[in-house]
Amino acid sequence: MKPNTQQLVDLSTQVRRDILRMVHAVNSGHPGGSLGCTEFLVALYQNIMDRKEGFDMDGMNEDVFFLSNGHISPVFYSVLARSGYFPVSELATFRLINSRLQGHPTTHEGLPGIRIASGSLGQGLSVSIGAAQAKKLNKDNHLVYTLMGDGELQEGQNWEAIMYASAKKVDNLIATVDLNGKQIDGSTDEVLPMGSIRAKFEAFGWDVLDVKEGNDLEAIIAGLNEAKSLTGKGKPVCILLHTEMGNGVDFMMHTHAWHGKAPNDEQLAKAFEQNAETLGDY
């Protein structure tokens, strides 16, 4: 049975606490984008994706997800752990030597839920397209999902992949862009303006939809379900997810400053006050 909206809200609060606690403990990591994508990943894993019991790398007969902007690993690890892929207690090993939870996801330690090493930006969409084509060859009707950052679209490899996906009618793919308008050095418009991302995807032959309230669980679920309804019709699907970097922590919002900066003790306490305990510490 899928969790109800309040349960998803409570889980999102807990995931934000996990993110903050992880990056604070080692004084490193990327809380901004992680907090901004919390509701999306909670909705995806808890409500949208058709997942089977256990984990295997081939991902046959289930939906699969690839994180392209791997620096937001804290939110990914938290959602995976709280979705049953590995013990929640393992979150306390984030970024430690010999941990399976490195700053960017890796595969060599065999952490359940991690299908590719990511963090070299621009590669996740290409991998996702390959996985989607493999599903077609294997007559597996499940979907492939991927998430990438808007700043990441400044990488050229994405546009080769975007062109390829439409040309080859990879219509079992839903690619979401975290459209928060910020990256490590400032706003995306200041670093490298990209114009209309919607117009670009549409010009490359994709179906595109906007989720304007990208931190609202009900809006995200509605958008993902709409995206699912567009699959199988000859075009890949793109969701433009309008999020707020640092969402849920007031002093981390409306700035790029927390892209890759950990809170100190005082800041952690203040952030925790804004995110009341729901499920307990790990």
pLDDT tens-place string over residues 86-102: 999 999 999 999 999 99
Q: Are 107 and 143 contacting, i.e. CB atoms less than 8 angstroms apart?
A: no
Q: Is-contact 125 166, C-beta < 8 A?
A: no
Residue-level pLDDT at 6: 95
For 84, counting Cβ atoms within 10 Å of its Cβ (0-12 exposed, 13-18 middle, 19+ buried), the class is middle
Instruction: Read off the pLDDT of residues 194-230 as tens digits, 9 standing for 90 and up.
Output: 999 999 999 999 999 999 999 999 999 999 999 999 9
Task: Report the pLDDT averaged over residues 14-36.
Answer: 98
Q: Would you say the pTM of this structure is higher than 0.85?
A: yes
Q: What percent of the chain has pLDDT over 70?
A: 98
pLDDT of residue 279: 60
Q: What percent of the chain has pLDDT over 90?
A: 96
- Check whether 35 has a pLDDT greater than 90: yes
**CB 63, CB 145: distance < 8 Å:** yes
Q: Which pLDDT value is given to residue 119? A: 84
What is the residue-averaged pLDDT of the chain? 96
pLDDT of 281 > 90? The answer is: no
Domains of the chain: 5-273 (3.40.50.970)
Computed over its alpha carbons, how large is the radius of gyration of the chain? Answer: 18
Cα 114 to Cα 116: distance, rounded to the nearest angstrom: 6
Look at residues 226, 227, 244 and name the one whose alpha carbon lies nearest to residue 236. 227
Chain segment 97-118, per-residue pLDDT in tens = 999 999 999 999 899 999 999 9
Residue 241 pairs with which residues in a beta bridge? 178, 211
Closest to 22 in 3D by CA, of 86, 89, 98, 74: 74
Mean pLDDT over residues 53-75, rounded? 97
Report which DSSP code applies to 178: E
What average pLDDT does range 11-24 have in this prediction? 97
Separation between Cα atoms, residue 244 and residue 128, nearest integer Å: 25
pLDDT of residue 276: 83
pLDDT at 282: 65
Chain segment 148-170, per-residue pLDDT in tens: 999 999 999 999 999 999 999 99
Question: Has residue 277 got a pLDDT over 80?
Answer: no
- Give the confidence band of 280 by pLDDT, cuts at 50, 70, 90: low
Torsion of CA 180, 51, 223, 192, to 10 degrees: 20
